[in-house]
Amino acid sequence: MTLTRTPHSDVDLFSDEVLVDPYPVYRDLRERGGAVHLSALDVWAVPRYADVRRALGDPATFSSSGIALNEPVNQMLVGSVLASDPPLHDALRAVLSEQLGPRAVRPLQAGIADRADRLVEAMIEQGAFDAVTDLAVAFPFSVVFDLIGIPDEVRPKMLGWADATFTVFGPMNGRTAAGLGAIGEMFGWLGTLRAEDLAEGSMGRAVFTAADQGRIAPESCIPLLSAYTAAGLDTTINAIANAVHLLATHPEQWDLVRADPGLVPSTLNEVLRHDAPVQGFGRRVTTEVEIDGTTIAAGSQVLLLYGSGNRDERHYADPDRFDVTRNPVDHLSFGYGTHTCAGQALARIEAQSVIAALAGRVRRFHLGEPVRHLNNVVRGLERLPVEGLELG
Ligand code: HEM
C-alpha cells in the first residue's frame, strides 16, 4: 500500500493552536481512520476509542518502551514503571500498588475530605481567588507531598518539575527541549535521596524498604520515586482545575450535583472523560500489526490518544456534551490494562473531595478569563480567576 492511500495527516498535534483546542483535530483524525500516519512526526496516531483500548490491553505488541515520542526521554525512562513491560513492570508496580491501591488509600479518605473542606472554606473567606494556583495546585501538593514524605525545601521546585515531566513525553519540540533541563534537575535531586530524607512511614520511604527487602533492585528506587513525584501531581492538579472550569461554566449541571451529592463520582468521571488530563501516551509496536485495515510495521511509534477516544462518537453518544449524569466509568483517562493508573484511587479521593466541598457551599461561580496551560501531554489551565461566589 502506498502512503497516499494510507490514512495520514499533516497536522502538528503539538502546535499551540491545536493544544488550545485539539477536539476538532481529533474528530478529523477519527474520520480518517483507526490509525493515521502523522507525516510531520512519522508517528501513527490512534484516535478511536476501541483501538486505543485494544492497544492498551496488548502490551506485548504495544510496548511502553515507546511511551515518549522522542528517544532521549525513552532512554531516560528505561527501568521506570511507566516505560517498562512485564515482567519487570509487574515487580515495580507491585510496590506501588501496595501503597496506592484502594485498600491502602481508603483510610486516608476522611483526612483528605477534611483538608478539602478547610481549603475551600479559606477560599470562600478570601472571596476572590485563582482556582488553579490557590486550589487545584495547592490541594494535591499538600496531600501528595505529605504522603510521599517530601522535605519542605524541595516542594517549591516540584510544580515546574511535574509539568516538565509530562511535556517531555511529546516530540522533540521547543517545549520538550525546555522541559529536559527541569527533568535533569529532578533526577539530580532524586539521585541524592536516602531513605532517611523521606518521612518515616511515608510512601516514599516504603520504596527504600522494598529495596532493602530485596523485592526490587536498589537502582529501581529512583525511577519508582519519580513515578510518585511526577505522575501524581500535574494530572490531579489539572483534573481539579478542569472540574472547576467545567462546573462553573455549566451551571445547570452544577445544580444537578448540588441537588444530589451522590452524583459526585459520576461528575468526576465525566470531567475526566470530557478533558483527559493526559491526552495521550506513546507505544512502540513490537511486531507488524493491523489497525482498522492499516498495516503498521514492527518498530513503528504510535500515539494512543486517550483524549480523542473519550470523545469518540462511535462509543459515547453526543460526546462533546458535558453531562454529569452520564457516569462514563470506562473512560480512557486513567489508561487501561497493564499500565492503568496506579494512583487513581487517591486521585479520585482528592478530586471528589474538592468537588463535594464546593458543592456543599457554592451556588454559583463568577469567573474571569481562564488561561490555558500549554503542555505537550497534559490538558489543563494556567489560571482560572474566580472573581466572586454566590453561597448557599
Ligand atoms: C486525575 C489524576 C490522574 C490521571 C488522569 C492519571 C493518568 C494516568 C494514565 C493515563 C496512566 C497510564 C499510563 C499509560 O497508559 O502508559 C497513569 C499511570 C500511572 N499513574 Fe496516574 N493519573 C492520575 C493520578 C495519579 C496519582 C495521584 C498517582 C500517584 C500518587 C499516579 C501514579 C501513576 C503511576 C505510578 C502510573 C504508572 C502505572 C504503570 O505504569 O503501571 N497517578 N496515570
Q: Is the CB of 232 under 6 A from ligand 1?
A: yes
**Model pLDDT, residue 224:** 84
Q: Is 230 close to ligand 1, i.e. is its CB under 6 Å away?
A: no
Give residue 214's pLDDT.
Answer: 93
Lowest mean pLDDT among 125-134, 151-160, 331-340: 151-160
N- to C-terminal Cα separation, the chain: 63
> Is the per-residue pLDDT at 335 higher than 60?
yes
pLDDT band at 142 (very low <50, low <70, confident <90, very high): confident
Mean pLDDT of the 94-103 span: 89
pLDDT of residue 323: 98
DSSP state letter for 66: G
pLDDT at 171 over 60: yes
Q: How far is the CA of 3 from the centre of ligand 1 (A)?
A: 35
Q: Quickly state the pLDDT bin for 201 (edges 50, 70, 90).
A: confident
Residue 135 in 3-state DSSP? Answer: helix
Residue 203 beta carbon below 6 angstroms from any ligand 1 atom: no
Distance 121 CA to ligand 1 centre (A): 29
339 CB near ligand 1 (under 6 Å)? yes
Confidence (pLDDT) at 47: 98
Q: What is the pLDDT of residue 132?
A: 97
Separation of 296 CA from ligand 1 center, angstroms? 27
pLDDT in tens, 357-366: 999 999 999 9
Mean pLDDT of 127-148: 92
Report the C-alpha gap between 89 and 82 in whole angstroms: 8
| Closest ligand 1 atom number to CA of residue 64 | 16
Nearest residue to 366 via CA among 138, 129, 116, 126? 129
For residue 93, the tally of other CB atoms under 10 A from its CB is 21
Judged by average pLDDT, the poorest of 1-10, 142-151, 218-227, 296-305 is 1-10
Question: What pLDDT does residue 122 have?
Answer: 97
Residue 300 alpha carbon to ligand 1 centre in Å: 24
According to the model, what pLDDT value does residue 2 have?
A: 45
pLDDT at 223 over 70: yes
Q: What is the mean pLDDT of residues 347-357?
A: 98
Question: To the nearest whole number, what is the mean pLDDT of the chain?
Answer: 94
**CATH classification of 8-391, choosing from 3.30.1490.190, 3.40.630.40, 1.10.3720.10, 1.10.630.10?**
1.10.630.10
Q: Which atom of ligand 1 is nearest to the CA of 277?
A: 5
Decide if pLDDT at 172 tops 60: yes
- Which residues are registered as beta bridge partners of 9? 38
Cα separation, 222 vs 220, whole angstroms = 6
Question: What is the CB neighbour count within 10 angstroms for residue 24?
Answer: 10
What residue's CA is closest to ligand 1, atom 40?
A: 82
Task: Indicate the top mutation candidate among 109, 271, 334 to test ligand 1's pocket, ranked by most ligand atoms within 8 A of CB.
Answer: 334
Q: CB of 82 closer than 6 A to ligand 1?
A: yes
The confidence band for 231, taking pLDDT boundaries of 50, 70 and 90, is confident
pLDDT range class, residue 226, cuts 50, 70, 90:
confident
Domain boundaries, the chain: 8-391
Locate the ligand 1 atom nearest the alpha carbon of residue 93 and give its number. 41
pLDDT in the model for residue 1? 46
The residue written with cell numbers 448540588 in the block is: 258
pLDDT for residue 310: 98
Per-residue pLDDT reduced to its tens digit, 289-316: 999 999 999 999 999 999 999 999 999 9
Per-residue pLDDT for 176 more than 90? yes
Predicted confidence band of residue 103 (pLDDT cuts 50, 70, 90)? very high
Q: State whether residue 24 is helix, strand or coil.
A: helix
Percent of the chain residues past pLDDT 90, beyond the cut: 80
The confidence band for 154, taking pLDDT boundaries of 50, 70 and 90, is confident
Which pLDDT score, from 0 to 100, does residue 371 have? 98
| pLDDT over 50 at 3, yes or no | no
Banded model confidence at residue 95, pLDDT cuts 50, 70, 90: confident
- Residue 294 is predicted with a pLDDT of 97
Closest CA to ligand 1's atom 39:
339
| 96 touches ligand 1 (CB under 6 Å) | yes
Mean pLDDT, rounded, for 212-233: 86
Query: Following DSSP, what letter does each residue of 191-231 receive, concatenated?
Result: HH--GGGSPTTSHHHHHHHHHHTTSS-GGGHHHHHHHHHHH
pLDDT exceeds cutoff 90 at 230:
no
Query: Looking at the predicted structure, is the pLDDT value of residue 149 above 90?
Result: no
User: 32 exposed, middle or buried (CB, 10 Å; 0-12, 13-18, 19+)?
Assistant: middle
Q: 99: pLDDT confidence band, cut at 50, 70 and 90?
A: confident
pLDDT at site 145 = 85
